[in-house]
């Protein structure tokens, strides 16, 4: 009878380990959505992003010296044009997923959102995103 209980015990330990891995992974993802910088004026951010879209070609990386204050205050790593939006890359995430802010200046279109692993709407036309890795 002692030998029959052993496989059950091993299975229970394995399930416990898998559950712990899943919970820690889920916590890591949800933690990043809380780590985004506060956007003081969403309307100003969208207006500034509209100017960037008008002044640079599609798929451009925006030089740091061209970032308006509304973006600089977010302390991004980089800023680029992604389809019809501005992608404000906040963090590479270290060992967690990278994350940033996607701003659609003129609409709340989600045409570019399929490129991101996880997206959460912040305000009209402004979305928080994070990658899978």
Query: What's the farthest any 2 CA atoms get from each other in the chain?
Result: 76
What are the structure tokens assigned to 114, written together?
Answer: 């399929």
Please give the residue that has the higher pLDDT: either 78 or 82: 78
Full-prediction pTM beyond 0.85?
no
Query: Mean of the pLDDT values across residues 21-34?
Result: 52
Query: What is the SS3 assignment for 33-49?
Result: HCCCCCCCCHHHHHHHH
Q: Which of 116, 122, 96 is nearest to 40 (CA)?
A: 122
All residues at 6 or more sequence positions from 131 whose CB lies less than 8 Å from its CB, including other chains: 93, 97, 98, 99, 116, 117
Query: Residue 102, Cα to own-chain centre: how many angstroms?
Result: 8
Q: How far apart (Å, rounded) are the C-alpha atoms in residues 89 and 108?
A: 19
Residue 66 has what pLDDT? Answer: 95
Q: Indicate the pLDDT class of residue 52, thresholds 50, 70 and 90.
A: very high
Looking at the DSSP bridge assignments, the partners of residue 80 are 61, 87
CA dihedral 63, 68, 70, 71 (to 10 degrees): 0
* Domain ranges, ordered by start, for the chain: 34-130
Q: Indicate the pLDDT class of residue 22, thresholds 50, 70 and 90.
A: low
Residue 51 has what pLDDT? Answer: 94
């Amino acid at each position: 009878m002692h030998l029959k209980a052993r496989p059950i015990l091993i299975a229970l330990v394995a399930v416990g380990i898998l559950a712990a891995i899943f919970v820690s992974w889920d916590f890591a993802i949800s933690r990043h959505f809380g780590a985004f910088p506060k956007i003081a004026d969403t309307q100003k951010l969208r207006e500034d992003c509209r100017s960037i879209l008008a002044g640079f070609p599609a798929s451009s990386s925006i030089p740091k010296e061209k970032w308006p204050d509304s973006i600089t205050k977010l302390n991004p790593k980089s800023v680029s044009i992604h389809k019809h939006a501005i992608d404000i890359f906040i963090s590479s995430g270290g060992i967690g997923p990278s994350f940033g802010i996607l701003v659609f200046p003129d609409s709340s279109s989600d045409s570019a959102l399929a490129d991101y692993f996880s997206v959460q709407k912040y305000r009209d036309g402004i979305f928080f995103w994070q990658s899978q890795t």
